[in-house]
Amino acid sequence: MENLTYVTGNYGKYLSVKNQFENNGLTINYFTCDLSEPDVNDISYISKIKAKKAYEILNKPVFVADSGFYINNYPNNPGYPGAFVKRSGVSSNMQKLLDDMKNVKDRSCYFLDCLTYYDGNEFYQFYGESKGNLSYEVKGDKRVTAKSNLWYVFIPINHTKTLAEMNDFERNNRSDNHTSATDEFIKWYKENVIGVIKVKK
């Protein structure tokens, strides 16, 4: 069976996802490509469009993963930046984000992830969520496995460290009741794709 192909322009995302698959006895291929996004604030729709584009490029089953970041009390724009994390420039300018939020006491925010698998016929989507609070400063060492620069300012609930400050064990075993779109997909894939293939054999 041909390996799954993960399409992304973010090498840190690939490394993180690759580790999750390997921990489940699976391997994936990596195709680097920055896919254009429709100008809508809907992470599910964006992910589906990108998966279709990726399939058209490679002509084989692919999956893509997208994240939205929602700040509940962003000044004059609750929920910002949402699905516009990259296009808004928020993820590339942490200091401006913190300056905009400096007088906001309620710093609650959350990541919403959407992973879309497309086999050329059907779309399958999986979701994950991580709730927390925005720190008052950028904290954590630079690391290649960081999925987003927002890791340096995001503190999961029930914790005092940003995601970037945590080591791999702390991050993977944190007690914030987060869910993982990748883990949900892996479980589904093993049962509904690999399992079906084994039965046919």
pLDDT score for 145: 67
Q: What is 132-159 written as a DSSP string?
A: EEE-SS--S---TT-S-GGGGTEEETT-
Question: What's residue 141's pLDDT?
Answer: 82
Provide the pLDDT for residue 201. Answer: 46
The DSSP H or E segment spanning 118 is: strand 108-118
Average pLDDT over residues 117-126: 96
List the structure tokens of 151: 């890791």
What CA–CA distance (Å, rounded) separates 91 from 84? Answer: 10
DSSP 71-106: ETT-TTSTTTEETTHHHHTGGG-HHHHHHHTTT-S-
Nearest to 186 by CA among 124, 142, 136: 124
pLDDT of residue 2: 61
For the CA atoms of 177, 183, 184, 190, what is the dihedral angle to 10 degrees?
-150
Whole-number Cα distances in Å, 194 to 16, 65, 99, 183, 186: 22, 21, 48, 15, 10
The tens digit of pLDDT for each residue in 22-76 reads 999 999 999 999 888 889 999 999 999 999 999 999 999 999 999 999 999 999 9
The reported pLDDT for the residue numbered 199 is 46
pLDDT, tens only, 86-107: 888 888 889 999 999 999 999 9
If DSSP codes are grouped into helix, strand and coil, which group holds residue 5?
strand
Share above pLDDT 90 across residues of the chain, in percent, rounded to a whole number: 73
Ordered by start, the domain boundaries in the chain are 4-200
Question: Among candidates 123, 131, 121, 23, which has minimal Cα distance to 64?
Answer: 123
Neighbours of 152 (CB within 10 A): 20
- Backbone dihedral region for residue 23 (phi beyond 0: left; psi -120 to 50: alpha; all else: beta): alpha
Q: For the domain 4-200, what is the CATH code? A: 3.90.950.10
For the segment 162-181, the average pLDDT, to the nearest whole number, is 91
The residue among 200 and 2 whose pLDDT is bigger is: 2
Q: Kindly report the three-state secondary structure assignment for every residue of 39-58.
A: CCCCHHHHHHHHHHHHHHHH
The band of 198, judged by pLDDT with boundaries at 50, 70 and 90, is very low
More confident residue, 2 or 55: 55
For residue 144, what pLDDT band results from cuts at 50, 70 and 90?
low
What's the rounded mean pLDDT across residues 136-150? 83
